[in-house]
Amino acid sequence: MDIGVLLPTGTAQWGETDDPRELIGFGRRAERLGFSSLFVNDSLISPRVEALTMLAALAPTTDAVTLGTAALLPFLRRPVQAAQSLASIDLLSGGRLTVTVGAGFPGRFGQPLYTLSEVPWARRFTRLDETVALWRALWDGADRFHGRILRLDDIPPMTRPFRTGGPPVWLGGATRSALARTGRMYDGWMPYPPDPADYASGVAAIRSAGADAGRAAEDITCALFVSVRIDDDGDDGAERGRRAMDAYAQATYGMPLEQLEKIQAVVTGSAAQVRERLGQYAAAGARHIVTRLGALGLRSQRDQLERVAELIPALRAETEGSRAS
User: CATH number for the domain including 104?
Assistant: 3.20.20.30
Cα–Cα distance measured from residue 78 to residue 48, given in angstroms and rounded to the nearest whole number: 20
Q: What is the pLDDT, as a whole number, of residue 321?
A: 63
Domain count, the chain: 1
CB distance 46 to 12 below 8 Å:
yes
| Residue 232, pLDDT score | 87
Phi-psi region at 86: left, alpha or beta (left = phi > 0; alpha = psi -120 to 50):
alpha
pLDDT of residue 177: 96
- pLDDT for the residue numbered 233: 78
Domain coverage including residue 153? 2-324
Question: What is the per-residue pLDDT for 325?
Answer: 53
pLDDT confidence of residue 45: 75
Look at phi and psi of residue 34 and say left if phi exceeds 0, alpha if psi is from -120 to 50, else beta: left
Nearest Cα neighbor of 67 from 102, 38, 46, 92 is 38
Note the pLDDT of residue 324. 55
CA torsion through residues 174, 109, 250, 308, sign: positive
Regions in the chain scoring below 70 on pLDDT: 321-325
Residue type, 222: C
Q: DSSP character for 59?
A: T
Q: Are 191 and 174 spatial neighbours (Cβ–Cβ below 8 Å)?
A: yes
Which pLDDT value is given to residue 84?
97
Please state, in angstroms and rounded to a whole number, the distance separating the CA atoms of residues 321 and 170. Answer: 26
pTM to 2 decimal places: 0.96
